[in-house]
Chains A and B, each alone.
Chain A
Amino acid sequence: MVDGFVDTPRFRLIEAPPLARFVLRAPDAALKAAGKAYGLALPEGLNQGASHGERGKPGARVALHLGPDEWWLIVPEAEGPEVAAALEAALASHPHSLVEVSHRQVGFVLEGEGAAALLNAGCPLDFSEQAFPPGMATRSLFHRVGLMIWRMAPGLFRLEIDRTLAPYFVTALAEAAKDHS
């Protein structure tokens, strides 16, 4: 969808490979057990992201704390079933909701020194490193569509957009890129 679409010396948009995605809803009491089963401690602070391993490679784990009791868990596609089974087993004694949403969203990586400025073409958040430090993850808007923004490093963003709205987002980002040439 995006190859070569938004690609300048200052920023580059890359579509993520197919991934398994889950929404975990659970009270704080379940966090420890969930983190243990998941192989990555779930970030406790709201609007925080955590990860280990390389994205899309075996063993990689992503956990994004996006609502007070809401975590998004993203793993390589093939590991989805075992991760789900491990979490369900570990959380059996905790009230919780684990729902697979692998195909609900499309993932992107936006990288480059101009990435934050490009996002500001449609996203009203302050991307200074004080206001939006690396490690922060939150939902917001890009023009008319919602998106999840996780800042992994100053010039490295992971984005997740609803599947049907991704074409709009990519087109809008490409249009905005004209203003940054």
Chain B
Amino acid sequence: MLLIRCPWCGMDRPEIEFRHAGAAHITRPGPPDRVSDEEWAAFLYLRDNPKGRVAERWRHVHGCGRFFNAVRDTVTDVFVVTYRAGEPRPPESAPPETLPPETRP
């Protein structure tokens, strides 16, 4: 069972208190009459599935109830950082392939 740091509670809490909620930083396009079918299909169905660091949404459903974002490494399961919904992805959580080779984790 992983420990996940809830950025609202400021505590590491056990994984079973949380619920995964899909990819983060997906913007709902709108207004409806200005969105193309392709754009809407991409919003509904197209997601990246990278090996490595992903930004995803979690909800502390059995805790403070808040949604938040997390950067997690899909290889090691390590949570690089968690941050509140609405905040930008912290630069230090960039995918490793964008970092200089000697600093990659």
Contact = CB atoms under 8 A, between A and B. Distances in A.
Chain A in direct contact with chain B (Cβ < 8 angstroms): yes
B14 A139 contact: no
A66 B9 CA distance: 9
A46 B17 CA distance: 16
Contacts, number: 40
Category for how many chain A residues contact B: 10 to 19
Nearest to A131: B11
A146 interface: yes
B65 interface: yes
A47 B16 CA distance: 18
Q: Secondary structure of the B side of the interface? A: loop
Given A46-B64, A141-B62, A68 B8 contact: yes
B16 A68 contact: no
Interface residues of B, number: 14
B1 interface: yes
B64 A68 contact: yes
A141 B17 contact: yes
A47 B66 CA distance: 13
Nearest to B63: A139
Interface of B: 1, 8-11, 13-14, 16-17, 62-66
Closest 7 CB pairs of A and B: A124-B14, A67-B64, A67-B65, A146-B62, A141-B62, A68-B8, A139-B63
